[in-house]
A and B are shown apart, each in its own frame.
Chain A
């Protein structure tokens, strides 16, 4: 099962009514989620609680209540399962005294690889992230983008099935960012589970349409952007229809089922507000054919991740 909001029996990552508070501050409140294969974005504004949730999922902090599981296991107890898990932290902290090659070597050795296999993987991932030339330099001298690549490399070098990436593109230049996005998508297509945390919506949008939205410590929604968009009835979906006879089309659509508003904008497009986008799209071809109307192009104006995020968080 792919994506977020899957049946928990088939999910690789699950959280069951998980909460975490630090003193009197509630960082995460009663979160329940299930993540299958593919790339899933964990979205939330700064301070929404996504980093805390992320660390709980990765077994780095213990929930105050509820349980998190990866492969049905609690990583904090069953540390052997980290063989199948990769983690890229948000923090920029690295052991600065080590060289890039030494760091990756240690990380792979602790995974149990022998010397030859470790060396092979280290060289492969250094090359994959274009760090071969800098491999002998200390991490303390690396740029922020290079440090980010090393963190990604250590999270992926042992071929894990589940990868947690916390703000993975921070500080990367545009080319590296593109390469990393392509890599994440590629790994997702291979059937791995990649949970990407970010507060930058276009970043996540470029990797996946499967998301978990978190705000003020609570999971607001999980699933595909389109599915979530359809579940927000108080904000009708806005669709622009490009037609050679916009006024006739607008007149026809007024009062139709699931149509809550119609207007013609400055570009002569018919802008329709619908309370059920899927039903509207299903009915539209029949309406057009039955009434001799023509639509050249359909553009959904507000089912972007940003719109969904704004509606759900009321920002």
Chain B
């Protein structure tokens, strides 16, 4: 006991909470390491290899068929990342980010520190958002490398611009979806069903309803930020052609509006989640 008793706590008489940003940064750092060690991350990375395989297949089997890297990237971002990969990754990482700790009881260890609950929430959420964005970005980087293997001629300004745009938009989408799913995970004891209903039901349904109703979905705003895939050449096989064409009509809105909506949803979901966590009680 002597060593502990001799030690002078730097703040034993200081009843102020730890700085929220500092505490959130610590929690984010440890949470990142936790999430990186989870087995489900391997499954997510494998799932994110699907676009890479598509790009590799096009590169190997259709090298001179007129499908440009720009066309492929645009189609993948629009029709694979936005409707499927971003929500799935964000759901897998975001839903358990906070809710799982509340449910299994391990959150008591952070709740009994001089740290505001909003900092705890922010730290965990930030880690989930970063992990989601990194997993998705990895896929995009691998796609880029395969495309680049065709030669330096693919590096047009248009292509590079789309590629950087895709990065930013995927990041924006990952942050927005993760914030929403984390709030769902904080509120519901069994959050997977409501999360799937949101993604598969709401997002799928609403984003495909014409007129302004579709603006109520995140997917619409994400897809609004990327130029729609160019029409595929007429001689392409059916499956590839289908992948490269857009099935539903969309009425575009200004891009700034979509960015604003996505940022607003991220912020609103984060504030909602912090409020939910503040009211939360430990069950176990």
Contacts and interface: CB of A to CB of B under 8 A. Distances in A.
A158 interface: yes
B251 interface: no
Nearest to A55: B282
B203 to A, nearest CB: 31
B30 A93 contact: no
B5 interface: yes
B113 A111 contact: yes
B228 interface: no
A157 interface: yes
B37 interface: yes
Interface stretch (B13-21, B162-170, B266-274): B13-21
Given A81-B114, A158-B9, A159-B4, A97 B17 contact: no
A271 interface: no
Nearest to A95: B106
Interface string A23-63: 00000000000000000000000000000000100111110
B30 A106 contact: yes
B3 A120 contact: yes
Interface residues of A, number: 49
B26 to A, nearest CB: 5
B7 interface: yes
Interface in A70-101: 73, 78-87, 89, 91, 93-95, 97-98
B15 A107 contact: no
B249 interface: no
B283 to A, nearest CB: 9
A61 B113 contact: no
Nearest to A96: B106
B38 A125 contact: no
B106 A82 contact: no
Contact of B108 (A84, A91, A117): A91
A112 B106 contact: no
B109 to A, nearest CB: 6
A51 B30 CA distance: 29
A120 B7 contact: yes
Given A110-B113, A110-B115, A83 B7 contact: no
B91 interface: no
A114 to B, nearest CB: 7
Contact of A83 (B4, B12, B105): B12
What 8 pairs between A and B have smallest CB-CB spacing?
A110-B113, A80-B15, A93-B105, A61-B281, A87-B112, A91-B105, A80-B17, A82-B114
